[in-house]
Structure 1
Amino acid sequence: MKTWIDGRVVDVADATVNVTDHGLLYGDGVFEGMRVAAGRLFRVDRHLARLAVGAKAVGIALPRSLDELRGIVEETARANGEREAYVRLVVTRGVGPLGVDPTTCERPGLFCIVGAIRLFSDEQRRRGLELITSSHRRPNADALDMRIKSLNYLGSALAKLEARQRGADDALLLNARGHVAEASVANVFALRGDVLSTPPVTDGCLEGINRAAVMDIARSIGLTVVERSLGRLDFFAADEAFLTGTGAGVIAMRSLDGRTIGSGECGPVTSRLTALHRRLAESEGVEIIAPPGGHQA
């Protein structure tokens, strides 16, 4: 695992962050999680564009241009050397005195981590995930807009903890109105017939890069894709359901709150979307790590 920090790439064990960084103390910062698939960075420019919007929303001036940030991501991924990897680019408010006041931080912090991430095992991917409905709620957008990938993931961590303590793989989170927002760290989809539904971002979900990719793929194979408010009943009535995300990829839901979804197995449409999403990830983007015996582009 490699980290870019203070202008150089080092092993993670050799990287340090100041304990008075407001990103650590208060979760004050933004990040992007990106994917290296078959040696290629998947939709890095879209991730960086979203990072820029998030930074603007919380009032952090990015310390480098988007081109420079892209170079940092590529440099760190190359140094890590793995053709399958997860990239986390983090921008913090920066070092400052104790106290939540963001104006006391002189300049933003920046680091990039590249390594392995395994949210779910091969067995979980084969059989599909068992989810529970979390007691934790996503906040309304006027309280905290979930389109901003901030460093504060306490709600997601508590939802995941609740799921694991109840013997499930992951959790579905509702918003204050009782509509489905997303899973702990992934977008959600429900298929009924040839209609694929996913919650709108106004219901408290992240405007996921992989969510958008799967929506495009689904349309290309003849599915009708709609963004609409969903309840738990929509998942109980679904023929198939699945999660999407950078770390999750595309992974089936087999049950929710002990009720089987569809056949209780990864359905044919989910399997097809999984394969097509993987194919897209393997074909898009600049090749940064050449295949064995190959030549880097």
Structure 2
Amino acid sequence: MATVCDTEEYISKILNSRRAGERNVLAFYEHRIGCICKNPRLMLLPMDDHLAHRGDGVFENMKWVNGKLYQLDAHIERMKQSVKGLHLSPPCTWDKLTELAVDVAKAAKTQDGLLRIIIGRGPGGFGIDPKECPVSSLYIIAYKFKPKPEEWFEKGATAFRSSIPAKPAHMARVKSANYIPNVLMKREADERGFDIPFSFDSDDFIAEGATENVALVTQEGTLLVPEFSNALAGTTIMRAVELMKDKIKIQFSPVREDDLYRAKEVLIFGTTSDCISVVRFEGQPINDVRPGPVAKQIRKLLKEDLEANGLPL
């Protein structure tokens, strides 16, 4: 029979209860409490927050490198669009949220790190009705950044066609906390021995990876970006497009699986890894099975952009 604890005993048990991943947490903020804490054992989510039991919320993830936070404004702007899709709003102003995000990153006191901002429907019940939750929730977490080794970029990644279909358009464009399809795609990649899964929509067009956007370089030298019909427009790929617009022809167009095999380069974009070449798809070679010059150029430009335009912490 489970023991019934009083408040002091329960808090003592929380503080003495270890859990996986706690060493990676650097600092966090919860809006109900209203302050920053650095003890990961106190990073607790209310069980009746609809974020927890319904996935009713949105999030953004960004990094800082060499003490500079990258693309904060772009992530906040995308978050504003995501909350509209769920008829949700933060429990404070956007200016205050942005200020808090920077404060949490600063509190981590590290040169490199990752910052996650989560807006949930809030605590209030275990149903599905948003009216159960009078105030939305806000969680901001700074945690350790473990960049991929340089060998990953030099070797290139492998990808495959996932059996998990692309999300419906109205959900794909929202960076919601419901990531079950993404989780299943990642599990399938591990089971099949590939690095990156690609999802396809009902018209057989490429949508996105589990956490990455996809693009390719055609034989004619055009950077071809799949339309974001059933995919989230990533902050990294959109920044790359901006940085490359005067250096290469860029086209947004539907992309099929056959286009990958004919490509000069296949690229994936994400917050933590910037730009990586895919050198094999479904075991078949992409061009000469080596990371290409466009991928290398984009990664270089993104790193320079972070150094030049990142927000100093």
Q: TM-score, normalised by structure 1?
A: 0.92
Q: Which runs of 5+ in 1 are unaligned?
A: 289-297
How far did residue 239 of structure 1 move?
0.7
Mapping for residues 146-161 of structure 1, pairs under 5 Å: 146-161=172-187
How far did residue 197 of structure 1 move?
0.5
RMSD: 1.4
Q: Cα deviations across residues 114-170 of structure 1 (Å, max 9, x unaligned)?
A: 1124474443232111111100001332xx331111000110110011011000111
Residue 165, structure 1, aligned to residue 197, structure 2:
no
Q: Which residue identity does 2:201 align to in structure 1?
A: N
Residue 248, structure 1, aligned to residue 276, structure 2:
no
- Corresponding residue for residue 179 of structure 1: 205
- Corresponding residue for residue 223 of structure 2: 196
Q: Distance in 2 between matches of 1:146 and 1:197?
A: 20
How far did residue 65 of structure 1 move?
1.1
SS of 1:145 mapped into structure 2: helix
Runs of 4 or more consecutive aligned structure 1 residues displaced over 3 Å after TM superposition:
117-123
How far did residue 267 of structure 1 move?
1.0
Of 126, 131, 135, which residue of structure 2 is paired with 1:107? 135
Q: Distance in 1 between matches of 2:287 and 2:255?
A: 17
Residue 8, structure 1, aligned to residue 35, structure 2:
yes
Residue 226, structure 1, aligned to residue 251, structure 2:
yes
How far did residue 201 of structure 1 move?
1.1
Q: Distance in 2 between matches of 1:251 and 1:110?
A: 32
How far did residue 268 of structure 1 move?
1.5
Q: Distance in 1 between matches of 2:296 and 2:310?
A: 23
SS of 2:208 mapped into structure 1: strand
Q: Distance in 2 between matches of 1:154 and 1:277?
A: 30
Cα pair distance change 1:151/1:161, threshold 3 Å: same
Q: Cα deviations across residues 180-225 of structure 1 (Å, max 9, x unaligned)?
A: 00111111110013200111111x111111111111122232x111
How far did residue 14 of structure 1 move?
2.1
Count residues in correspondence: 284
Contact 1:187–1:211 (Cα < 8 Å) also in 2: yes
- The answer to which of 95-104 and 178-187 deviates more is 95-104
Q: Distance in 2 between matches of 1:161 and 1:120?
A: 19
Q: TM-score, normalised by structure 2?
A: 0.87
Of 159, 176, 179, which residue of structure 2 is paired with 1:131? 159
SS of 1:97 mapped into structure 2: coil
Residue 36, structure 1, aligned to residue 64, structure 2:
yes
Contact 1:3–1:111 (Cα < 8 Å) also in 2: yes
Contact 1:140–1:176 (Cα < 8 Å) also in 2: no
- Corresponding residue for residue 236 of structure 2: 210
How far did residue 76 of structure 1 move?
0.7
Q: Distance in 1 between matches of 2:149 and 2:203?
A: 33
Of 296, 301, 304, which residue of structure 2 is paired with 1:279? 304
Q: Distance in 1 between matches of 2:109 and 2:277?
A: 30
Q: Which residue identity does 1:173 align to in structure 2?
A: S
- Corresponding residue for residue 259 of structure 1: 284
Contact 1:191–1:241 (Cα < 8 Å) also in 2: yes
Percentage of pairs with the same residue: 25
Q: Which residue identity does 2:207 align to in structure 1?
A: A
Q: Which runs of 5+ in 2 are unaligned?
A: 1-25
SS of 2:135 mapped into structure 1: coil
Contact 2:147–2:272 (Cα < 8 Å) also in 1: yes
Q: Distance in 2 between matches of 1:16 and 1:140?
A: 31
Contact 1:139–1:176 (Cα < 8 Å) also in 2: no
